[in-house]
Amino acid sequence: MIAILLCIWIYRDAESRGMSGALWLIIVLIAGIIGLIIYLVVRKDKKTAAQPPPPPL
């Protein structure tokens, strides 16, 4: 059960970060805990909305 939830999380997290969710899902399924560690190390930061510049004084 935990493995299924972990796979769903990896897929969704990778997709939300602009990465291939299916590819990372396969890597983690094949490599196990090593694949998970690799994913956590190389995953991209989430893009945050840029704040508009302050108004001129």
User: 21: how many CB neighbours lie within 10 A of its CB?
Assistant: 17
Specify the pLDDT at position 40.
92
| pLDDT at 37 (0 to 100) | 94
CA–CA dist 13, 2 (Å, integer): 16
At 55 the pLDDT is 84
pLDDT score at 20:
93
Q: Annotate 3-47 with DSSP letters as a single string.
A: HHHHHHHHHHHHHHTTS-HHHHHHHHHHHTHHHHHHHHHHPPPPP
Q: What is the pLDDT along the chain (57 residues), one digit of tens a residue?
A: 888 899 999 999 999 988 999 999 999 999 999 999 999 999 877 665 566 778 887
CB 13 within 8 A of CB 44: no
